[in-house]
Chains A and B, each alone.
Chain A
Amino acid sequence: DIQMTQSPSSLSASVGDRVTITCQASQDISNYLNWYQQKPGKAPKLLIYDASNLESGVPSRFSGGGSGTDFTFTISSLQPEDTATYYCQQYDNLPLFTFGPGTKVDIK
């Protein structure tokens, strides 16, 4: 099974800060990685697919990168509404899907 890890597990940053989250796969998954945002009490929302493609309607301050086993998710200028938990999700071994454990982001 492919295992996913995320770091940090939580972070606190100021409005306007650049925030970066990392996701690591236990084996090479090419670019088969997506990122989701989940606000408290809400369903997850797709932000980035195929490692670096921005989902339609998602603000451009969100971006993703990486390939193989190491991936990054960046918020270029943190906004108050970005308070949420962010999950990576791999799909290298279709039809199975695995989510990372999540990174909680809040405002300092």
Chain B
Amino acid sequence: QLQLQESGSGLVKPSQTLSLTCAVSGGSISSGAYSWSWIRQPPGKGLEWIGYIYHSGTTYYNPSLKSRVTISVDRSKNQFSLKLNSVTAADTAVYYCARRLISRFDHWGQGTLVTVSS
């Protein structure tokens, strides 16, 4: 059964870079049918799509975050990563990784809370 697990720093200082990794198990990240996504949710608020990456390395980002976001893939480790630079308190959120199948996100990680604070 496919599982996704986020990991990374739970506390980031303002202006620094948020870094998270999503480990994929029970399936190959190199499957061409899927892409691999990051979605976030500020405390008590709704969901915001951040971006996704194909196993080829092709990426698409939310225009509102594009200047600060990098998503990368490591096929040898079956994982993908998120970097968000120049963070502020507004970037405090639960960050989810998810598998995208065509139009929908059909498998999600459990999420990890990242707090931006000095």
Contact = CB atoms under 8 A, between A and B. Distances in A.
A53 to B, nearest CB: 10
A102 B109 contact: no
A66 interface: no
Interface of B: 46-49, 52, 60, 62-63, 96, 98, 103-106, 108-111
Contacts, number: 49
Where chain B touches its partner, the secondary structure class is: strand
B63 A43 contact: no
Interface of A: 32, 34, 36, 42-46, 49-50, 55, 87, 89, 91, 94-102
Given A49-B103, A55-B106, A97 B49 contact: yes
Given A44-B108, A45-B108, A91-B104, 19 more contacts: A32-B103, A36-B105, A43-B98, A43-B108, A43-B110, A43-B111, A46-B104, A46-B106, A49-B104, A87-B46, A87-B47, A89-B105, A95-B52, A96-B49, A96-B60, A97-B49, A98-B49, A99-B47, A99-B48
